[in-house]
Chain A
Amino acid sequence: MGEEPAPQAVLDLDELQIPGGRQTGRRHILSILVENKPGVLARISGLFSRRGFNIDTLAVGPTDDPRISRITLTVDGALHPIDQVTKQLHKLINVLKIRDLEPRETVARELALFKLAAEGESRGQIVQFAEIFRGKVIDVSKRSLTVEVTGTDDKIEAFEDLVRPYGLIEMVRTGEIAVARGRSTT
């Protein structure tokens, strides 16, 4: 920021601050209450993309008040830039409330659907795995099984690793939604 090498210098790629380089592995779950109005999502996502953040997951849904929606998004980023984006998000007229949820004080869940090429003997094993993961078989055909699994992203990834060898045709994930632990509102 504000620090330029001499104008004539040819810039070494390594010295440039490529936005992706800012990633720290610290995952943020932002829970955002917004007015249910057209364009709100575009305004929010624009603030992230402009600063080179990649939104990892995004889930949008109504709240108990139909005029208000909740956006839950997860993003990887250093603390300072996230703080800056949060402040900018607050400036959006249709944004009502933002919380950067502390992972330890948050319950987060995600739903995933796995379509598996389950033929012959492997069918039974997949059904067994699904039971262990408290998943459900929600569709079945002669050549496939579709399993629904709910949980943290770790659990979903573990299930994915487990069933992949059996022939994962496709996988669909909702992205995490989250709520603060205890009595306080998110």
Chain B
Amino acid sequence: MRAVDAIVECLKAEGVDTVFGLPGGANLPTYDALYDGGVRHVLCRHEAGAGHAAEGYAKASGRVGVALATSGPGATNLVTPVADAMLDSVPTVFITGQVRTDLIGTDGFQEADTTGITMPVVKHSILIQDPRDIPTAISEAFHLARTGRPGPVLIDVPQDLSRADIDYDPIDSVNLPGYQPTVEGNAKQIKLAAKALANARRPVIYAGGGVVNANASGELTELCLADGFPVTCTVMGLGAFPAPHDQWLGMLGMHGTRAANYAMDEADLICAIGARFDDRITGKLSEFAPRAKFIHIDIDPAEISKNVPAHIPIVGDAKRILPKLVREYRALETEGARLDGWWERIRGWREKHPLGYEDSVDSEIKPQFMVEAMYKATDGDAIVTSDVGQHQMWCAQYYDFPEPRRWINSGGLGTMGFGLPSALGAQVACPDQTVVCLAGDGSLQMNIQELATCVTENVPVKVFLMNNHYLGMVRQWQELFWDRRYSGVDMGTTPDWVKLAEAYGATGMRASEKGSLVETMREALATEGPVVVDVQVTKEENCYPMIPAGQAARDMVG
């Protein structure tokens, strides 16, 4: 069969039901094979949209997301989603068309060195040089994307090779001698970790996106409940521990709660699970958790002691390690009351510094109020995607996620424009769930074209636009650290979002009074098809609390 038909067969063999993409000259053969190949193709309006949709699909479902693009500009438009998937460890496979082999290296029409451009931001990439290698390459790509620390794998297929006639036999095993992720975790280290937890008087469990990726939130919860361990999550880990909960401290880091950050600061033992001590978590590294010893559980050995030296490193899959850790912990004699003093201190912080904001005295909608309204309107039961900025942080603070894979955002790369296309992907993966995109007015413009995809494909995402007419987070920094010299942050009043939504064939709504906001949101959720609700919020509101960049948890402001 043609190599492209083999590509489609391989995709089906990997369990792929949907791909996102955009055709062009170099991947025309692939699209011919997709015509009646039996895999759903969602035609996105921009390759960046297709890439983020594949990420949203992967994050919501846990399955590998797939995006296709043609050579040259198609592939370069994919670079941002590829990098995004790298930094957030999203299992994704990107298949790009490449110019004919005789044109490679000649600056041919729509030629770009795709594997070269993406090299630093992929888990692995493969430039096909022999069409007979295609089935193996695809099988390896899916294996690499979904195992170990997940990530993006890119396959670049020259147009002529994709038309070659090859024999296709299903691939049932991969041979990658240089790739042997450790999954089980060292038994001695796990024992040591259990002992450390048993001896700790001020422990904190700090969980990240790795727990979500490992589908280990049940196991995490069991560990936390094995004793009264306080638990906090990174922005990528939200939902890994069911919120709200007595033992839940809220998110940590730059815009985390004071309880979480102060607990990290005073902890004598921090158990990091699938988290990587990012600078948004540690702040000033030399003053980060100065009294703590660290257990670090991660599937990627390169994360261990990268930023913070680990006392008890455990390399492996959280899903395999945590049950063993719980078993070892339960086998020890522990005194639950030893944590009473610690909890008293934490409760003190909670009571003294709860998350909060000053609500308006008139009908003005405060952005935090908007997130609370969204929580009410959705009964806390929705997949929420977000763009990047203030609204993302407010959502992380004020929307409690009871389960993993409900909160989909761009944490590592911080990609504006991520929200709408990832909502599209999430809704395609989970057609029966409510999918809401909390957008910012800066971010939404960056991939608004995917509204057309949502309308055409009948994907009923609801976009709640937090509209403050500013690039809000940048404005906040300019206000706080740059003497209010507002440079390049005023978005003016355009566009008319209601008309824009309608122009795309979606429903547009507007809300500017807090009294009726929940009602308007409920109405939007009950409306068929995609909806954009333009919510006019306070123009200049700052996201607090905040650890100014490069400072310590103790220096939190607001």
Q: A residues bordering B, Cβ < 8 Å? A: 1-8, 34-35, 38-39, 42-43, 46, 50, 84, 87-88, 90-96
Contact = CB atoms under 8 A, between A and B. Distances in A.
A87 B301 contact: yes
A7 B482 contact: yes
B119 A35 contact: no
Contact of A1 (B179, B285, B300): B285
A1 B302 contact: no
Contacts of A6: 481, 550
A94 B285 contact: no
A40 to B, nearest CB: 10
A3 B306 CA distance: 15
B178 A7 contact: no
Contacts of A96: 177-178
B116 interface: yes
Nearest to B482: A8
Contacts of B179: 93
13 contacts: A2-B279, A2-B307, A4-B550, A8-B483, A39-B119, A50-B120, A87-B302, A90-B301, A90-B302, A93-B123, A93-B179, A94-B178, A96-B178
Given A2-B279, A2-B285, A3-B286, A93 B144 contact: yes
B302 A91 contact: yes
Contacts of B123: 93
Given A5-B550, A35-B178, 11 more contacts: A2-B283, A38-B129, A39-B127, A43-B119, A46-B119, A84-B306, A87-B302, A87-B306, A90-B301, A93-B176, A96-B177
B122 to A, nearest CB: 10
Q: Which of A2, A5, A43 has the most CB of B within 10 A?
A: A2
Given A3-B284, A3-B286, A42 B177 contact: no
A2 B284 contact: yes
Interface in B263-320: 279, 282-286, 300-302, 306-307
A117 B301 CA distance: 54
Nearest to A39: B115
A43 B286 CA distance: 32
Contact of A3 (B124, B285, B481): B285
Contact of B549 (A4, A84, A87, A95): A4
A92 B483 CA distance: 45
A82 B127 CA distance: 29
A93 B143 CA distance: 12
Interface string B139-155: 00000100000000000
Contacts of B125: 39
A12 B129 CA distance: 50
B262 to A, nearest CB: 19
B285 A42 contact: no
Nearest to B149: A91
B127 A8 contact: no
Nearest to A43: B119
Contacts of A35: 177-178
A91 B302 CA distance: 8
B477 interface: yes
A95 B178 contact: yes
Contact of A84 (B124, B284, B302): B302
A99 to B, nearest CB: 15
Interface string B162-188: 000000000000001111000000000
A5 B550 CA distance: 7
Contacts of A2: 279, 282-285, 307, 550
Nearest to B478: A7
A88 B302 contact: yes
A103 B306 CA distance: 25
Contact of B300 (A39, A91, A93): A91
Given A7-B481, A90-B302, A46 B120 contact: yes
A47 to B, nearest CB: 8
A39 to B, nearest CB: 6
Contacts of A90: 301-302
Contact of B550 (A3, A43, A46, A87): A3
Contacts of B301: 87, 90
Nearest to A33: B178
Interface in B78-128: 115-116, 119-120, 123-125, 127
B116 A42 contact: yes
A96 B179 CA distance: 8
A93 to B, nearest CB: 5
Contacts of B285: 1-3
Contact of B477 (A5, A7, A50): A7
